[in-house]
Amino acid sequence: MLEALPRPVAEMEKEVAEQLMKALAHNSPRLQVLTGVKVADVAGQAGQLEIRYQAGEEAATYACDLLLVATGKRPDTSGLNLAAAGVTLGERAAIAADATGRSNVPHIYAVGDVIGGYMLAHTAGQQGRVAAANLLGHSARYDAAKDSGVTFTRPQCAFVGVSLEQAKAAGIDAVEVKVPLSIDAKAMMTGETDGLIKIVADKVSHRIVGVHFLADHADTLVGEAVLMVSAGLTLEQVAEAIHPHPTQTELFGEMARRLLSRLRRTARAAG
């Protein structure tokens, strides 16, 4: 696998992506992932292909039967004649729209892949509902800081909200707690101990602003985390919730209690 970016699954939290690479290397020894690669040339035909590429300072070739090209997505607004409508474009030909979906032309709204950002089906759906509400005279806004996503690797990656780095960049005095799946009883029973879960919270309000996963059932686990972030639940609320045992959801309560304990110790030391 030849990846142009410094790391795969770049939309995921940094440590989650790094741990995924380690898990893949351990569980799939025949899979080799090279990052920071620039493909120079592809020659030949199906059944007899040669790929020339640059990985750092090294030039190399790779012979294979087939090549799957997956270079991501970008907005294609070329056929919309937006210039005639006076609609402003932003980065990579994406339509510049605000959190209500409105473009610079007051009666023109845009949602989904054409405005860039998270190019995900559920994102477009929410943006569409927001735009429709505003067109009908109501007040609604799309909040990217509460959006979510899943990458269906094995183990799976998932996120909702922001990472610690993103939170701090947004001016939030944030802190995080993480636990490995290897401490979870259910994961031990099923032999699915690869991965970790992180919670990111506002240090002052204790509001949970992000949850990040590398876990075999992250697509299911992230559902509870979506509600935490969307509803602005606090560490106290999650810590006090009674999760069933043995499940992986009980890790949410465990992490919340751990982080609260750490914050209290820090506050006492500072006092």
Cα 195 to Cα 216: distance, rounded to the nearest angstrom: 8
Q: Which residue, 254, 123, 240, is CA-closest to 199?
A: 254
Task: Find the helix or strand (DSSP H, E) in which 139 lies.
Answer: none
Contact 188, 260 (CB under 8 A): no
Backbone angles phi, psi at 118, to 5 degrees: -70, 110
Q: Which residue, 254, 208, 204, is CA-closest to 233?
A: 208
Vertex 28, ends 26 and 32: CA angle to 5°?
95
159: Cβ contacts below 8 Å, ≥ 6 apart: 11, 12, 13, 16, 148, 149, 210, 211, 212, 213, 222
Asked about 245 being catalytic, the answer comes back as yes
In the block, which residue shows the tokens 């030039």? 59
In the block, which residue shows the tokens 């506050």? 267
Radius of gyration of the chain from Cα atoms? 22
* Catalytic residue (one of 26, 107, 206, 245): 245
Contact 40, 52 (CB under 8 A): yes
Q: Which tokens go with 48? A: 């007899």
Question: Looking at the annotation, which residues are catalytic?
Answer: 245
